[in-house]
Structure 1
Amino acid sequence: MSVMHGIPMTAVPVLFKAACPECRSRFELAAGALRLAIGGSRRTTFYSFTCPECGSSVRKPAGERIVELLTGGGVSTLRLHSTV
């Protein structure tokens, strides 16, 4: 248990709302169910997950705000580097 401004707080897991473009299901995912890849451009920065309803692999673009929310919520991040 942590304390914030003198008030005891319990650790609450962060859940992210997501939707599957294949089966159109909407659900919440824990940070461990998401993966974030940060590349050198908007095209190569994305998050991904497996739909818990239909099993489809889902990949969606991640802008600055999404990156901020996911990293702040504990999602594992992979930084992509070009091999030049």
Structure 2
Amino acid sequence: MAVASAFAGMTGVAPVLFRAACPDCRGRFELSAAALRLAVGASSRTTFYSFTCPDCGEAVRKPAGERIVELLTGGGVRTLRLHSGT
């Protein structure tokens, strides 16, 4: 089956939304992939995702384990790979 025929019936794809919460104002909301950033470092301590809270405007940074990294990258979140200085 050709790719074009496999997707022929689709008129659009719903954007992926991620649930998030702000530790400062305790707001809960959904963010698009474009609103999130993922940094993947050499260890779990240097792997995190970040966003700006749409309610209070604070910059939020949270740790990202393997499952979170998998979900965010699969959902199209822009990823920065951090390299060690050695």
Which TM-score applies when normalising by structure 2? 0.88
Cα deviation for residue 3 of structure 1 reads 6.3
TM alignment of 1:3-82, pairs within 5 A: 8-9=9-10, 10-82=12-84
Unaligned residue ranges in structure 2 (runs of 5+): none
TM superposition outliers: structure 1 runs of 4+ over 3 Å:
none
Q: Distance in 2 between matches of 1:25 and 1:7?
A: 40
SS at match of 1:43: helix
Q: Which amino acid aligns with 1:40?
A: A
Q: CA RMSD in A?
A: 1.6
TM-score by structure 1 length?
A: 0.90
Structure 1 unmatched ranges of 5 or more: none
Secondary structure (helix, strand or coil) at the match of 1:69 reads helix
Q: How many residues align?
A: 82
Please tell me whether Structure 1 or Structure 2 has the larger radius of gyration of its CA atoms.
2
Aligned residues: percent identity?
72
